[in-house]
A and B are shown apart, each in its own frame.
Chain A
Amino acid sequence: MKKLLTLCVIAVAFVVSVHAQEKGSVLIKNATVITVTNGDLENTDVLIRDGIIQDIGKDLNAPRGVETVDASGKFVMPGIIDAHSHLNGVDINEARNPVTAEVTMEESVDPNDVGIYHALAGGATSIHLMHGSANVIGGQGETLKLRYGTTQDGMKFEGAKRTIKFALGENPTRVHGQGNGIQPRTRMGVEQVIRNHFDEALDYKRKREAYLSAKAEFDRRGRGTPPVPVAENLRYEVLNDIIEGEIYVHCHSYRADEILMLMRVFNDYGIKNYTFQHANEAFKVAPELAKNGAMTSVFSDWWAYKFEVYYSTAYNASILNANGVINSINSDNNQLLRTLNHEAAKVVRYGDTSVNDAIKMITLHPAIQLGIDDRVGSIEEGKDGDVVVWSGHPLSIYSMAEMTFVDGKKYFDRSNDPNDMRIDIDPGTDFEDGANFREIVTRREDDACLQDAFILMQNNTQN
């Protein structure tokens, strides 16, 4: 097993090196630099070389061949990171089983979705492409850099932590319990599905390891009775990786009671790195979250789209922040993803959270939740050149992203923004039919988390 794992690691390393990304260099001059970790620096230059922030200071000179951007009167901020997105998934929900840990959004990436460009235009540079919330334990997530125009492998955020989607409450109980008549039908059932699967996974691991060591012994001695083979099981392997801390859990949740429930379950299995997604009632249990080191990723002010989301407040993010919970603001929506700076601004407006803390909620904090904070989320020497030039302060409603850089390479430039940025044209689609690429404002009530899975609930209501 170990050997296999090593082979996999080598294979992954190989793939990454094959798809080495295009890195860029740029000197941004005279900006107000919002570093996030070291205050705001006025009249400051940022030099990015070969994709890495090399220098932050005054009167820096551009090395030969490096483009200079005059950002006088403008702001430079780390690229926005969305900890909850379904932006460019081929499929979102493998909704036919309550536990599908074996599937991964890594294999559901559409690198050609023009929405990637729209997100860049809103100052976003990374997203967490998540499985939907139809299942108690859904598929694994994939953290992407928005390198528009590259391949599916080229979009991967190399070295990001592995993640997985869990979901509590109405979605899994409606899809599976009420839709198909199988566990879970209630919130109690949701807890049992998690516990049962962890127990089964541990049982599998014991049997599989016993088999592998008996097989090794049999192969070595060349006599005796061989063991009955235990097949590798992809689902249980992933569940064991969660228990062993190799995978960060991102759990769709709303109510305080189910949030407490999951923390108890995770404490029982020793699972430490996890983020509650949505978590509209997290403010009720903020001290408990802080005590457990649990993180949250919430909307600034979006609720009441189903029964379990009625009890909500626009102070949620501020209360969590004041209690020391690492909280991010996410979009879960392709339109909202383009204006996450406004969502952060609302946290300042509603709960009087400091501007820098609000900015952390769309930069450094989501980076921590995805295990990429050593690379992005703040403007520091040595970090990746994922930065955005804003026309004014990014939390102002009047400001616009003017240039968006990923790895120092410019992917969006407002002064050179062609009308049609689609890169994957279906030759059978005529201009008139294909012109709907402008319709980027999707309806918020179309809960993206349940993409592909609504059908199952509709079926239920018909029966």
Chain B
Amino acid sequence: MIALLILGLGVQQVYAQTTPAHALKNVTIHNADGSATESATIIWRDGVIEAVGTNVNIPFDAYEIDGGDSLHVYPGFIDGYSIWGSPDLPSNLPDLDDPGNPPYYRSGVQPERNPSDLLTEDKNFETAMKAGFTTAALYPNGYMLPGSVEIFYLSDDHESVELISDKVGMAGSFESAPGGWGSGAYPSTLMGVMAKFRQVMFDATALQQHIKYYSQNPEMPAPNRDQVLEALFPVINKEAPLYFEVDSKENIERLLKLQDEFGFGLVIVSGKEAYAKADELKRRNIPVLASVDFTDAPEWYKDDEKKDDESEDSETEEVEEEISEEEQAYRDKQLKAWKSEVSNIKNLMDAGVKVGYASAGLDLKDLNGKIKTLLEESGMSEQNLVQLMTRNTADILGINRTHGSIIKGKNASFSVFDKQMTEDDAKVQHNITNGIIHELNGE
């Protein structure tokens, strides 16, 4: 451990003629397929894994790090949809003269924005590293069409957060236009957002046609170029999917209706009630980057669980709380609703839907608690969880050739825990992203 600390300090300063390798030895590797390899070694150089296994030769130029058989290595967690590093939303918007015809940015239509142009300081980057994340798809904070989705290597300061893939998709939601009483604008309702979405798609379609015609027929009137509409061309042409944040069953149905009309590729983000549409999502081959931001369990349920534990310990019978028949009926429904929410990911996986992980607004300090709930209440295994947060998410984001597993030839992005990640008080000691070691010391 001490050796690792000392080496870690020197890592970034030393550059030889050929970049030296790193070797992390005597660790337990938890693979994305759920298997574990004990007393293993990982060798990487220039951000690429050169060798993994129990019987590998450590190159002469490698910095050796000895895990002392106590450390657990997982493929770096990938957040499939996160807002980290996004500038704050504007406040105190001025009133518009004609709120029915707002400029694009005031109606929430900003597909031309890219996170890579906007990244700003955010302490969540460091928090994410400490939680074991090495990679994230980011999008800019906004409204119905807030900008593109891009994938980044994480780092603890935003200056070093580096782009992996640009414009892998377009972010979307049913959020209405920003603004309050006087400053609000069209669209201000769900139905308005749907209509506005259609209209910008029609307008972009016409502009693309015009640009195409004009390129071959310079004698015709020139098109009015428009970076907002042009940013939507990849969606119209089905070259980039919409990453659409949506939770309720009814809103998922509304979104599928739009997909029927325009045929765009789709990734559902958050999707808290996606289980209710699991078969249809499977049929349409729509993946879900699922949120684990579950509602807290009902208080009475938590109390009951606690009492159960206590009575097991003391072997005394607790007196049942007296409640009306009507309240009991309500509690049954409430618990069923809560269990459905918590079992969403499991049910989607069982139905054969591709499911990955997205923080989608979750406060990272709540992550451990939510994961605990997920494992205890939904019947999901640790293996399912690791898959969800690594390989499956990489697959949905289209970076599975380089990310999501600890295999020779893949990107060196993994997290080193002091215990198995699901154990109480498990902490991330180091986080390796793109081959660079970040010392976290399990803070």
Chain A contacts of B100 at CB under 8 A? 96-99, 182
CB-CB under 8 A from A420, the residues of chain B are 326, 329-330, 333
Q: Which residues of A contact B326 (CB under 8 A)?
A: 419-420
**Closest residue of chain A to B253, judged by CB?**
A152
Chain A binding surface, main DSSP class: loop
Partner of A231, one of B184, B203, B298, B299: B203
A430 CB contact (under 8 Å) in B195, B210, B298? B298
Taking a contact as CB atoms closer than 8 A, the residue among A94, A152, A462, A463 that contacts B192 in the complex is A94
Cβ of B341 within 8 Å of any chain A Cβ, yes or no, is yes
**Could you say which of A232, A425, A426 has the most chain B C-beta atoms within 10 Å of its C-beta?**
A425
For the complex, give the distance between the alpha carbons of A104 and B97 in Å: 25
- List A69-110 residues whose CB lies under 8 Å from chain B: 90-91, 93-100, 102-105, 107-110
CB of A229 within 8 Å of the partner chain: yes
Query: Which of A109, A151, A229 has the largest number of chain B CB atoms within 10 A?
Result: A229
Let me know if A180 is at the binding interface, CB within 8 A: yes
Q: Which residue of B lies closest to A455 (CB)?
A: B181
- Inter-chain CA distance A94–B199, complex, in Å, is 16
In Å, the complex CA distance between A129 and B40 comes to 65
Q: Mark B191-222, 1 if CB is under 8 A from A, else 0.
A: 11011001100110111011001000101110
Cα(A232)–Cα(B300), bound, Å: 54
A225 in the interface (beta carbon within 8 A): yes
Known: A231-B203, A420-B330. A96 touches B184 (CB 8 A): yes
Q: Mark B241-277, 1 if CB is under 8 A from A, else 0.
A: 0000000011001100100100000000000000000
How far is A232 from B205 in the complex, measured between Cα atoms in Å?
Answer: 9
Inter-chain contacts of A230 with B (CB < 8 A): 206
CB of B331 within 8 A of chain A? Answer: yes
Given A94-B188, A427-B337, verify A107-B254 contact (CB < 8 Å): yes
Once the chains bind, are B253 and A428 in contact (CB under 8 Å)?
no
Q: Chain B interface: which size bin?
A: 35 or more
| Chain A residues near B207 (CB-CB < 8 A) | 229, 231
Contact status A226-B298, CB under 8 Å: no
Return chain A residues, CB-CB under 8 Å to B29.
none
Q: A459: CB under 8 A from chain B?
A: yes
- Given A102-B199, A232-B202, A430–B99 Cβ distance below 8 Å? no
Is B90 in the interface zone, CB < 8 Å from A?
no
Is A61 an interface residue, CB under 8 A from the partner? no
B334 CB contacts on chain A under 8 angstroms? 425, 427, 429-431, 434
A233 in contact (CB, < 8 A): yes
Residue of B nearest to A423 (CB): B333
The 8 A CB mask of B41-66 against A (1 = contact, 0 = none) is 00000000000000000000000000
- The answer on a CB contact under 8 Å between B191 and A422 is no
**What mask results when residues 222 to 251 of chain A are scored 1 for a CB within 8 Å of chain B, else 0?**
000110111111110000000000000000
A96 adjacent to B182 (CB under 8 Å) = no
A429–B335 alpha-carbon span in the complex (Å): 11
Task: Assess whether A452 is interfacial by the CB under 8 Å rule.
Answer: yes
Q: Check A234/B192 contact, CB under 8 A, given A225-B217, A228-B210, A425-B334.
A: no
The answer to the question of B295 belonging to the interface, with a C-beta cut-off of 8 Å to chain A, is yes
How far apart are the CA atoms of A114 and B202 in the complex, in Å? 37
B192, A103: Cβ atoms under 8 Å?
Answer: yes
**Distance to closest chain A CB from B177 (angstroms):** 8
- Kindly provide the distance from the CB of B107 to the nearest chain A CB, expressed in whole angstroms: 9
A169 within 8 A of B: no
Partner of A228, one of B181, B205, B220, B337: B220
B227 CB within 8 Å of chain A:
no
B101 to chain A, nearest CB (A): 7
B399 at the interface (CB under 8 A from A): no
Task: Tell me the bound Cα distance from A226 to B213 in angstroms.
Answer: 7
By CB atoms of chain A within 10 A, which of B188, B189, B195, B253 has the most?
Answer: B189
Chain B nearest CB, measured from A173 CB (Å)? 15
Give which listed residue, A108, A153, A228, A429, contacts B253 with CB less than 8 A.
Answer: A153
Whole-angstrom distance from the CB of B178 to the nearest CB of chain A? 12
Q: Does B185 contact A (CB under 8 A)?
A: yes
Q: Mark B228-249, 1 if CB is under 8 A from A, else 0.
A: 0000000000000000000001
- Of the candidates B97, B191, B336, the one whose C-beta lies within 8 Å of that of A107 is B191
What's the Cα separation between A233 and B100 when bound, in Å?
A: 15
Chain B residue, CB-CB nearest to A135? B100
Please name all residues of chain B whose beta carbon is closer than 8 Å to the beta carbon of A434 when the two chains form the complex.
Answer: 330, 334
Any A CB within 8 A of the CB of B190: yes
Nearest chain B CB to A11's CB is how many angstroms away?
Answer: 6
Q: Is B98 in the interface zone, CB < 8 Å from A?
A: yes
Interface string of B396-439 (1 = CB under 8 A from A): 00000000000000000000000000000000000000000000
Which chain B residues lie closer than 8 Å to A231 at the CB level?
202-203, 205-207
Instruction: Given A180-B99, A225-B219, A428-B295, check contact A233 B189 (CB 8 Å).
Output: no
Min distance, Cβ B166 to any Cβ of chain A, angstroms:
28
Chain B residue, CB-CB nearest to A228: B221
Is B152 an interface residue when CB atoms closer than 8 A count as contact? Answer: no
Are A108 and B191 interface neighbours, CB within 8 A?
A: yes
Residues on A with C-beta less than 8 A from B195 are: 94, 100, 102-104, 234-235
Which residue of chain A has the shortest Cβ distance to B250 in the bound complex?
A152
Residues of A within 8 A of B299 (CB): 430
Least Cβ–Cβ distance between A445 and chain B, in angstroms: 21
- Contacting pair B253 A96 (CB below 8 A): no
Is A177 an interface residue when CB atoms closer than 8 A count as contact? no
Q: Is residue A111 within 8 Å, beta carbon to beta carbon, of the partner chain?
A: yes
Contacts of A428 in B (CB 8 A): 295-296
With most chain A CB atoms within 10 A of its CB, the pick from B253, B296, B330 is B330
Residues of the B chain whose Cβ atoms lie less than 8 Å from the Cβ of A109:
250
CB of A220, distance to nearest CB on chain B (Å): 15
B337→A11 contact, CB < 8 A: no
A-B contact pairs, 23 of them (CB 8 A): A90-B189, A90-B190, A93-B189, A94-B187, A95-B188, A96-B186, A96-B187, A97-B99, A103-B194, A104-B191, A104-B195, A107-B257, A111-B250, A180-B98, A182-B97, A225-B217, A226-B213, A228-B221, A420-B326, A422-B333, A452-B188, A455-B181, A459-B181
Having A427-B338, A459-B182, one finds 5 other A-B pairs with CB under 8 Å, namely A94-B187, A228-B220, A229-B206, A426-B295, A430-B334
- Residues of A whose CB lies within 8 Å of any CB of B are 11, 90-91, 93-100, 102-105, 107-112, 139, 151-153, 180-182, 225-226, 228-235, 418-420, 422, 425-431, 434, 452, 455-456, 458-459, 462-463
